[in-house]
Every structure is written in structure tokens, then in C-alpha cells.
């Protein structure tokens, strides 16, 4: 289905003194609606969202300027589906009939969603004439088709004397017709059917929840398109027996032998590019099964974590889900500034009136706090780094571990490591420029989300800072801005130490070996 309109959901939380917003394009599938409700913080409210409005609708542009009479999300989604189902002639008829329901000047006047829905029915009874876009063209059409008795009685040799524009205007006024995109639409006699009673929407097939859907078919022999027409959708999670049964209907022994032509995900952060091919079916199905068992809050947290750390494939997404309990989510913190105030409230005396914080502008402070915590903003709230709490006590300034004054650092013993086949010194913390002895260069290491290994060396690391290395060489980071570590290039701790000054003064022979490698 093609999207027909964009709406905005608004939820107010009096106790949090805030509004939450989410845009949603309609018609929408259940998983898209659920995602918008999660973003608008409406999923844990008994009354759900509190306000809904149409931001734009290409077919009926005036809908963005009117006040709707208590619309529901189900009603607007149904209306969007009806708009999508109209053919070209019905769309023209709808635009001609629209002024009956949507007044030209509607300031303060409520527009009925019931009438909007009913207006999408019966449009095939409206007469439409093509290539008639003006009164003069309509007058010519009337003359050629003998639509008016008086005009038909005029001798053919005298027709040139007639005022075509005047004839067209009179015909249009009598018909109640309008010109729409070069067509003449006679909407004056249109009677709007009463299909929808304002309470029970016309019958639709019930939808079923799924984590993922795959459109699968028999593997083609030659062209990739030769089996596309026979493809069918399978919803995940599914039992292996059911999946293989579907595969056998497509002349394949098991589901992994099939190909897929379509991919739908209930989680927008997991896309078809991450799936690969049907060899990964079992991993995708396992992920779907875990998603089916998630609590509503974990569903939101999963999306938040994936928003910060997009998975490279389905296996990585499954790994994230399996360690989801190592993350924390502040669902109602929709910005760093809001989270900063929440962070302060956690540690303030309970007698303090936190309303004093309401008018403070705290976005900058919040961003600094998130950096200290390794946390991040997402559309679903603020999420922690893996294995860390959102409410740790952290210093306002940079961590002080190994952040020594210049003279102290010169005499401090640091670990000697091998990194990128080079000798270097390692410090747990960050080093200030003035603390680095002349002749040495400082770079940052980034560790993985779970802290199990170093994954790259970079000029500067904010989140997931794993330490600082001092080297004698200037590194070229290329266009990517970092150098990733492979299994054979991971930093190696040698087990002994040196001071930065000793390292800076050390003279190495060009052929001197270090750790089995030549430098």
C-alpha cells in the first residue's frame, strides 16, 4: 500500500510536565503503529495518546488545515486505506465532492471523520469528462453532445455565433460540477453512502503479530525473476516443521533451499540488508522467537540499543537481544536536557522541590553527562552503554585515572604494549596535550560495547573509551578516521613497564626486533 497521509500523535504527561510527539505515515501496519505509540510514550498509558492531527495528505490537502471531530487512529488508518484503494477516476470524484465535507473556510468548524470515510464510497457513480478544463471547453462539449435542448435546436450553420464560455458556465452551475486537473467532474448529484455508522468500522481481515515476514519461493534455475510470481509470505517466528512444509509446496526440501523476494521487519532498525540469504533463516527465526517473548519495555529498549549500535547482521542483532539486561533505558527522557534533570532528582534530597528545575535550560549539561556515562539519546529515550548504569556517580570533568601532571606522568610507569606492529605505552585514562612528552603522539583505543576487547584505534574516542596509547609514529587514519583491529592486530600487553620519558629517549636500531616483530 502507498502512504496517503502523515499524522502526528501527541501524548501529555502531567506528572512529567512534558509532551511527547511521533509522526506516522498511513496506511500503516500494526508494527508501524506500535513503533509510533512507543515513540510518543503512549504504550504504558491506559488512555494511550491524547491528541492526533493530520500533517499532510496529498489527495486532500485541506485536511492539514482543519480540526477533526475526535478522530481515532483506527479511523484515520482506515481512511488512508480507502484513499489508497481508489482508482484515478474515483480520486477525481473525491476531490470534487470534498467541499461538502471539508469547507473552504473551516476556522473553528469540526470535520467529521465519519463523513470523510463515507465520502470514499459510491464515487464510481460520478460522471467525469476528460479534456474539459474550462467553461469554454465545457461549452464546446455541451454543443457537440447535444446536452442542452435550447443549444441543440440552433441550426448547425449558426453554432459559431454561440458563446461557448457562457454555455459552459450555465451548464456547470446547473450540474454543480467542478474542474479538477483538466477533467470536468459532475458531483452535484453525488449522494454519500452511509457505510460507516461512526462506531463500527467496515469489516477488515484481522491482522496477526509477527517479528519478521519473508516472501519465499522455489530457487530459480536461471533468471532471479522466474519464480517471483509463485512466492508466498511466511511469518516468523514459525516452527521448523511449518517452514519446511511451506518450502516443500515450492518444490524445495527445506526452507533454507528457498529464496526470498520480500522482507518485512517489525523493528525498523533490522533491515533486509542485515539478513543476507536463506542460510541465515534459523538465526532470524531464533531472533523472532526471542522478540515474541519480550516484555513491552524490553521491546522499546531493544529498539533504543539498536538505534545507537546498528547491527551488521542478524547474528549481531540476536547477540544484542541476548545481553539486553546489561542496558538501562530512561524511556521518558526524550532529550539529554530532560535526562539531566531526572539524573539530578535521583540524588537530591527528597525535600527539595524539583519544580525549581523545570525552567532551567540543561541540554548542554545533559550532553556532557551522557558523554561521561557513555549513554546516548534515541527516539525511544536515553539508553546506557552496555554494562553501565544511567545513574552512576560520575565527575563533571574527564575521568582522572592516569590523568597526571606533566612531571608526574614523565616518571609514571606505563604498560608497554604492541599495537599495529609498533611499540607503544598504554594508559587507562585520557591524557592532556601538555602531559605528552615531546616526540610522542597520543591516540585513543575504543573497546566493544561489552568491554571484552579493543576494536579500533582513533585520534579521539568519546563513548566506549578504552584507554590511550603513546607512540613515536604519526598514524594515517585515512577517510574512515579510524583503524580497526583484527584478531591478529589486537593490542598485546608485554608484561613490563616504562616511563614516557624513557620511551621517548629510547633509541631503537632500525633492525631491532620487538616481540618477534621488526620495528
- How far is it, in rounded angstroms, from Cα 514 to Cα 519? 7
Q: What pLDDT score does 502 carry?
A: 85
The separation between CA 307 and the C-alpha centre of its own chain, rounded to angstroms, equals 9
Give me the pLDDT at residue 203, please: 83
Q: Which residues contact 146 (CB under 8 A, 6 or more apart)?
A: 152
Cα radius of gyration rounded to whole Å, the chain? 33
| Contacts made by residues 472-480, CB under 8 angstroms, sequence distance 24+ | 472/422, 472/423, 472/439, 472/440, 472/441, 472/503, 472/504, 473/422, 473/441, 474/441, 475/420, 475/441, 475/443
Separation CA 378–CA 328 (nearest Å): 13
Directed axis angle between helix 281-292 and helix 240-249, to 10°? 130
pLDDT at 410: 56
Distance CA 198, CA 188 (A): 25
CB atoms within 10 A of CB 409: 22
pTM for the full model? 0.69
Residues in the chain: 519
User: By the 8 A CB rule, do 369 and 340 touch?
Assistant: yes
| CA-based nearest residue to 447, from 396, 394, 491 | 491
Handedness of CA 165, 166, 168, 173 (dihedral sign): positive
**Spatial distance between the Cα atoms of 336 and 375, rounded to a whole number of angstroms:** 10
Query: Which DSSP category does 156 fall into?
Result: G
* Calpha distance 375→340 (Å, rounded): 12
Cα distances (angstroms) measured from residue 56 to each of 25, 53, 62, 78: 10, 9, 8, 16
Local structure of residue 330 (DSSP, 8 states): E
Instruction: Specify the pLDDT at position 512.
Output: 43
CA-nearest of 492, 296, 309 to 387 is 309
| pLDDT for 86 | 95
Mean pLDDT per 10-residue interval, the chain, length 519 residues: 94 78 94 94 79 93 88 94 94 90 74 93 90 88 80 75 84 85 86 91 84 94 84 95 95 94 95 92 96 95 94 92 94 92 89 84 92 92 91 73 42 85 85 74 84 84 82 86 83 86 70 42
Q: What is the 3-state secondary structure (H, E, C) of 185-234?
A: EECCCCCCCCCCCCCCCCCCCCCCCCCEEEEEECCCCCCCCCCHHHCEEE
Is residue 101 within 8 Å of 116, Cβ to Cβ?
Answer: yes
CA distance 109 to 69: 9
Which segments of 259-312 are extended strands (E)? 259-265
The domain spans of the chain are 5-122, 131-181, 212-323, 329-383, 406-518
- Which residues make beta-bridge pairs with 11? 20
Amino acid at each position: 500500500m502507498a502512504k496517503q497521509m502523515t499524522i502526528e500523535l501527541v501524548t501529555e504527561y502531567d506528572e512529567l510536565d512534558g509532551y511527547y510527539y511521533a509522526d506516522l505515515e498511513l496506511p500503516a501496519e500494526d508494527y508501524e503503529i506500535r513503533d509510533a505509540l512507543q515513540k510518543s510514550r503512549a504504550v504504558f498509558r491506559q488512555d494511550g495518546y491524547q491528541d492526533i492531527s493530520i500533517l499532510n495528505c496529498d489527495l486532500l490537502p485541506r485536511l492539514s488545515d482543519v480540526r477533526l471531530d475526535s478522530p481515532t487512529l483506527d479511523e484515520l488508518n482506515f481512511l488512508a486505506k480507502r484513499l489508497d484503494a481508489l482508482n484515478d477516476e474515483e480520486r477525481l470524484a473525491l476531490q470534487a465532492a470534498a467541499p461538502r465535507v471539508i469547507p473552504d473556510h473551516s476556522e473553528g468548524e469540526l470535520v467529521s471523520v465519519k463523513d470523510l470515510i463515507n465520502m470514499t464510497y459510491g464515487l464510481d457513480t460520478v460522471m467525469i469528462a476528460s479534456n474539459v478544463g474550462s467553461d469554454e471547453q465545457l461549452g464546446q462539449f455541451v454543443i457537440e453532445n447535444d446536452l442542452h435542448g435550447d443549444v441543440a435546436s440552433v441550426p448547425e450553420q449558426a453554432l459559431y455565433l454561440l458563446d461557448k464560455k457562457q454555455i459552459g458556465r450555465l451548464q456547470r452551475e446547473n450540474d454543480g460540477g467542478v474542474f479538477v486537473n483538466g477533467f470536468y467532474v459532475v458531483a452535484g448529484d453525488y449522494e454519500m453512502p452511509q457505510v460507516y455508522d461512526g462506531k463500527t468500522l467496515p469489516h477488515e481481515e484481522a491482522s496477526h503479530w509477527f517479528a519478521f515476514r519473508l516472501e519465499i519461493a522455489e530457487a530459480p534455475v536461471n533468471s532471479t525473476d522466474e519464480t517471483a510470481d509463485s512466492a508466498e509470505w511466511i511469518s516468523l517466528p514459525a516452527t521448523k516443521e511449518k517452514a519446511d512444509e511451506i518450502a516443500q509446496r515450492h518444490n524445495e526440501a527445506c526452507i533454507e533451499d528457498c529464496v526470498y523476494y520480500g522482507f518485512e521487519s517489525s523493528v525498523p532498525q533490522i533491515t533486509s540488508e542485515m539478513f543476507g540469504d536463506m542460510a541465515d533463516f534459523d538465526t532470524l527465526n531464533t531472533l523472532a522467537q526471542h522478540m515474541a517473548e519480550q516484555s513491552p519495555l524490553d521491546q522499546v529498549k531493544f529498539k533504543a540499543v539498536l538505534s545507537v549500535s546498528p547491527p551488521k547482521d542478524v547474528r549481531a542483532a540476536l547477540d544484542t537481544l541476548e545481553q539486553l539486561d546489561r542496558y538501562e533505558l530512561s524511556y521518558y527522557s526524550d532529550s539529554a536536557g530532560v535526562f539531566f534533570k531526572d539524573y539530578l532528582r535521583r540524588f537530591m534530597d527528597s525535600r527539595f522541590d524539583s519544580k525549581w528545575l523545570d525552567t532551567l535550560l540543561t541540554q548542554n549539561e545533559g550532553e556532557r553527562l551522557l558523554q561521561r556515562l557513555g549513554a546516548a539519546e534515541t527516539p525511544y529515550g536515553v539508553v546506557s552503554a552496555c554494562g553501565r548504569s544511567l545513574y552512576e556517580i560520575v565527575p563533571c570533568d574527564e575521568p582522572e585515572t592516569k590523568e597526571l601532571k606533566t612531571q608526574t606522568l614523565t616518571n609514571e610507569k606505563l604498560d608497554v604494549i604492541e599495537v599495529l606492529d609498533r611499540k607503544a605505552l598504554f594508559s587507562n585514562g585520557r591524557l592532556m596535550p601538555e602531559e605528552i612528552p615531546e616526540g610522542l603522539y597520543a591516540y585513543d583505543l575504543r573497546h566493544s560495547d561489552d568491554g571484552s576487547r579493543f576494536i579500533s584505534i582513533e585520534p579521539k574516542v568519546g563513548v566506549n573509551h578504552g584507554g590511550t596509547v603513546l607512540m613515536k609514529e604519526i598514524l594515517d587514519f585515512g577517510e574512515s578516521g579510524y583503524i580497526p583491529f583484527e584478531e591478529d592486530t589486537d593490542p598485546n600487553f608485554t608484561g613490563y613497564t616504562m616511563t614516557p620519558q624513557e620511551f621517548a629517549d629510547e633509541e631503537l636500531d632500525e633492525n631491532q626486533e620487538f616481540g618477534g616483530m621488526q620495528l
